[in-house]
Amino acid sequence: MSRVLGIEGTAWCASAALYDTATDDVRIESEAYQPESGGIHPREAAEHMREAIPAVVTRVREAADDEVDAVAFSRGPGLGPCLRIVATAARALAGTLDVPLVGVNHMVAHLEIGRHTSGFEDPVCLNASGANAHLLGYRNGRYRVLGETMDTGVGNAIDKFTRHLDWTHPGGPKVEEHAKRGEYVDLPYVVKGMDFSFSGIMSAAKQAVDDGTPVEDVCFSLQENVFGMLTEVSERALSVTDSDQLVLGGGVGQNARLREMLAEMCEDRGAEFHAPDPRFLRDNAGMIAVLGATMYDAGDTIAIEASAVDPDFRPDEVPVTWRETAPERSRAGDPDEVRGAEALVTLGERVRKQRRPKRYRHPELDERLRTERTRSEARVTSEARRAGVPTPVVYDVDDREAELTFERVGRADLRESLVEERVREVARHLAACHAAGFVHGDPTPRNARVGEDRTYLIDFGLAYYTEDVEDYAMDLHVFAEALSGTADDADSLQTAFEEAYREAGDPTVVDQLREIEGRGRYQ
């Protein structure tokens, strides 16, 4: 049993909390920064932290009677000036009380509070917050990033749109309110495997308002598309990892429409969904204290001299010392019917693939995506065969019903046979696709099939034609993320994959992959 005092201050909310493991009670004291105009100004946010942190800490100390076993604080990611103020306060308090110090990753805390309040053993987590948006899954002692934003966090993206309208921060609740009176208009929808991008849709939304589209319609459509993207990639992460549990984290998770979409998706695929109480979704010290207590009980504390903050502290950099090995998920061979993220696949002498309507998506958007992806899959699957890539023969296409009939290929998914030579074959196949001028779009171990002497690529539904090296590198990035979440020896397999791609394709694509991996969107 332990009592941990947590301090949070990564960007806009100065917060302190006390967590008592004996009662599972969390007391939170917070003072939020409210900019007079625009978004968060780092200097003003730091000034707010300097004034508010002592006040919230004092209130929690009084409630605790200074009976505290450890002090936990958010080391990052976040705004450097704010993080340093919080760290200084935590060090001083730990010294005063003569208790250990625990450094917490803010994004892992979002995940762990969902795991704690749900009781789920091994969920996938969608973190949807201001400066971040990513999917996390546990594998081999760390939380692996299965997919993430390629440009900006979801909350910041929405705020950029609302600043264009001269609305005050935060913009999310205002978009949610206006959306209640809106109707659907067409906006961009961009997913690449389990990754996603918001820059295009935000630019289009600004332009739509400037062109006279009612702001209520733009807000409604922003929610439908942005949250539809997040729900789709969450379902893809559940499918790739064979998980049947999803938790939500981050301040954007307070949006009722996002929670509704995720709940509907999980219900339709037989998975469990949990969204913590709103006080644990927005930035708060409660989640810092809860994870801090877990880490303290595991002996995961830090010395004062090792407590430097990290504004770009990624969740996959954290050794998860407090968890045992994740339970094995059952994979019952090759069943007659397989539910993927996008479609229901029926296996017989031939393979029938049905893109059934998604209840969580707006009907107009859903029909467009199902039709476009069915046509693309049929066309590019055949195009890949002409480029020398082993793919199934397409026997029939019904784009009105979003159905395809294929040759049955391979004996199992690649994830059942993740060895170097098979991974090298996938690299060579992707290089051939790229040389022919298109990307696969979703090259995961579930979307390759292994036979006795061949590895096939399947499921080209997210494929598109391009000559951009960035797009080719994104194909490699999607495969690398999927490997990290499904393979025990992901690093060595990724090395072999990249070596084979360099030999068969354009080496500058791998160089561009390094640039993509270095993008940390935490500001």
Distances (CA, A) of 220 to 217, 258, 381, 457: 5, 12, 35, 37
| Whether the Cβ atoms of residue 230 and residue 197 lie closer than 8 Å to each other | no
Nearest alpha carbon to residue 245 among 115, 416, 106: 115
Q: Terminus-to-terminus CA distance in the chain, angstroms?
A: 36
CA gap 468, 441 in Å, rounded: 13
Q: Where are the beta strands (DSSP E) in 229-384?
A: 245-249, 272-274, 337-339, 344-347, 350-354
Name the H helices within 211-351.
215-241, 256-269, 278-281, 285-297
Burial (CB < 10 A; 0-12, 13-18, 19+), residue 346, is middle
Map residue 103 onto helix, strand or coil: strand
Catalytic residue set: 442
Q: Tell me the β-bridge partners of 405.
A: 352, 396
Residue with tokens 């949250």: 227
Q: Per the omega criterion (within 30 degrees of 0), is the bond before 77 cis?
A: yes
Token pair for residue 281? 């979704």
Residue with tokens 């450094």: 103
CA gap 456, 272 in Å, rounded: 32
- Cα 318 from chain centroid (whole Å): 16
